[in-house]
A = this chain, B = another copy of it.
Amino acid sequence: MSELKIRRMSTADAGFDEALGKLLAWDAATDTQVSDSVRAILADVRVRGDRALLEYTERFDHLSAGSVNDLEVSAQRMAEALARITPAQRDALECAAQRIRLYHDKQVQASWQFEDEDGTVLGQQVGPVDRAGIYVPGGKAAYPSSVLMNVIPAKVAGVPEVIMVVPAPGGELNDLVLAAASIGGVDRIFTLGGAQAVAALAYGTETIPAVDKIVGPGNIYVATAKKEVFGVVGIDMVAGPSEILVICDGETPPDWIAMDLLSQAEHDEQAQSILLSPSAGFLDAVEESLMRLTPTLERSAIASQSIQDRAALIQVADLDEAARISNRIAPEHLEVSVDDPSALLPKLRHAGAIFLGRYTAEALGDYCAGPNHVLPTSGTARFSSPLGVYDFQKRSSLIGFTSVGASRMGKVASVLARGEGLTAHARSAEYRIIDDE
């Protein structure tokens, strides 16, 4: 690879707004061939169940099995995985799991109710979904940290059964992934992948029980399948490429910031890393660090491509302007690498996760800070939230009228229902009106 070229911009440039818009543009191109293929697989698994699953698993994962039962990972295989990883890895997974649990415990939503002056009870009953499915990619992109981040919120929510699917191309399974599943509390694991695994979780088959919510990352087939079954089951967000925005006053070591940017860039070629700073000298220094550090990475080919195609070092007038640009971007990860991040915090309205201060490397949040690393991408932090316990809980409204309350409110409902021409609604309410009142 020839010398790395890194985009430099300034908010003072003519046409900056438009240039920023172009830089951020990312459109999940809907590939008709992918959609058609996914729809066919979904329909087939829905109708033919286990038989279809076995066929697709043989075709796509080169894994033959006599029955879907044979694709369930045994307790013995799980124990082997735990025994095979290093003690340091096991400690790290357990430490991460404990911190993730502690943090997510604070997200649990409780049922509530109150009485109005007529004694009418109003409230919301909150409870977990019955069963959740977690998709875990197989092969090289097998991330044990993602297993923890997806299963722990479900378990903290009280979901009785969490089913994980993970493709095992040629039968290969990652021990760290299995160990994370065990530590995180996954109930059952099937070595299934692709759209067929999503179909099995959404519709159920003879062997795979249907779930109520499907979460977890996957390739374009998995993402398309999840979007298709949305409505039959709940899903988490359909994620775009990972991104980081760093706001720095220029006082953090340039190598630190460069490596933070590279930790996104190494994910994949479409990942996006952007730095905002009022200091031109600091942007120069980070540029120099990037040139020097990128070639030293194990994943330097991916990182170089991502930096060249999608990164930018942007000079801003001041930190307030940086906050305004950050709100426009609504980044997945936002590092606020300044002396007093709490002063800037009230101005930061949209971000998946906000990393405060020079010591808070985004990578800590990916693994063991406690908060979830499944975050809204591509500007969707404007309206959506990190994966959390609340994604595995749902609410029922509670309404319990006394006869006095029903009579009083029945009169109001009657006026409104008749205004809408819904007279059965009106009469249903009117039956409960007490005549002599």
Give A contacts to B, CB under 8 Å.
28, 85, 88-89, 91-93, 95-96, 99, 102-103, 106-107, 112, 114, 116, 120-122, 124-125, 127, 129-130, 140, 142-145, 176, 212-213, 230-231, 233-234, 237-238, 253, 255-256, 259-260, 262-263, 265-267, 297-299, 303, 334, 341, 345, 348-357, 359-372, 375-376, 378, 380-386, 388, 390, 394-403, 405-406, 409-410, 412-413, 415-417, 419-429, 431-432
Contact = CB atoms under 8 A, between A and B. Distances in A.
A63 to B, nearest CB: 23
Given A265-B424, A354-B125, A349 B130 contact: yes
Nearest to A423: B298
Contacts of A124: 106-107, 371, 386
Contacts of A361: 401, 406, 410, 413, 428-429, 431-432
Contacts of A145: 416, 420
Contact of A397 (B354, B413, B417): B354
A24 B163 CA distance: 26
Interface-centre pick from A212, A262, A381 (highest chain B CB count, 10 A): A212
A235 B80 CA distance: 44
Given A121-B356, A361-B406, A415-B89, A396 B380 contact: no
A95 B363 contact: no
Given A341-B400, A398-B356, A428-B259, A364 B406 contact: yes
A381 B400 contact: no
26 contacts: A28-B231, A102-B116, A106-B124, A124-B371, A145-B420, A212-B382, A231-B380, A253-B431, A256-B428, A259-B431, A260-B428, A265-B424, A267-B422, A299-B423, A357-B400, A359-B406, A359-B432, A361-B410, A361-B431, A363-B426, A366-B425, A367-B429, A369-B399, A371-B398, A386-B396, A386-B397
A274 to B, nearest CB: 16
Given A262-B428, A357-B401, 7 more contacts: A106-B124, A234-B384, A357-B400, A363-B428, A364-B401, A364-B406, A370-B399
A29 B80 CA distance: 47
B299 A422 contact: yes
A421 B383 contact: no
Given A231-B28, A231-B238, A349-B127, A365 B397 contact: yes
A356 B256 contact: no
A363 B425 contact: yes
A425 B384 contact: no
A368 B412 contact: yes
Nearest to A351: B396
Given A388-B395, A396-B350, A412 B95 contact: yes
B364 A413 contact: yes
Contacts of A263: 422, 424-425, 427-428
A19 to B, nearest CB: 19
Nearest to A266: B424
A363 B432 CA distance: 11
Contacts of A421: 140, 298-299
A363 B130 contact: no
Contact of A429 (B231, B352, B364): B364
A140 B353 CA distance: 45
Contact of A401 (B359, B417, B425): B359
Nearest to A112: B106
Nearest to A407: B359
A124 B410 CA distance: 41
Given A234-B384, A353-B399, A413-B368, A259 B424 contact: yes
A326 to B, nearest CB: 11
Contacts of A399: 353-356, 360, 364-365, 369-371
Contacts of A102: 116
Contact of A299 (B85, B384, B424): B424
